[in-house]
Amino acid sequence: MNTTIPTTTSLNVTASFANGNCTLSSVGIADRPGALAHEKAMKLHALLNQCYGEGFESFNNNSDSIKENLIWLAADLANEICALCELAEEVSRG
């Protein structure tokens, strides 16, 4: 019986597959959860700047598939930020 879980790591991102589930994790280098949340929030801000205002025309010229994937990317970043903020709260409580 092979119990080895297929895993690969590249550029601080690890992907593994076990029991029909693919897991992806990344290593964020920061001295506290709030700092990493801030870094991800700045990336989300930059991404969303391309989806409204002056960036909207460029965004809107993309295919529906590209637009949908950009929105999913923004949602993924927002979820990561929420998790980091919750962790920061836990850490601050001790």
* Cα distances (Å, whole numbers) of residue 35 to 23, 40, 47: 24, 9, 19
The reply to whether 24 falls in a domain is no
The reply to whether 41 falls in a domain is yes
In tens, the pLDDT along 5-51 reads 888 888 888 999 998 899 988 888 888 999 999 999 999 999 999 99
Q: Which domain holds residue 80?
A: 29-93
- Total structural domains in the chain? 1
Query: pTM of the predicted model, to two decimals?
Result: 0.80
Residue 2: the pLDDT is: 56
Given a cut of 60, whether residue 65 has pLDDT beyond it is: yes
Q: Tokens 């979820």, residue?
A: 79
Residue 35: the pLDDT is: 94
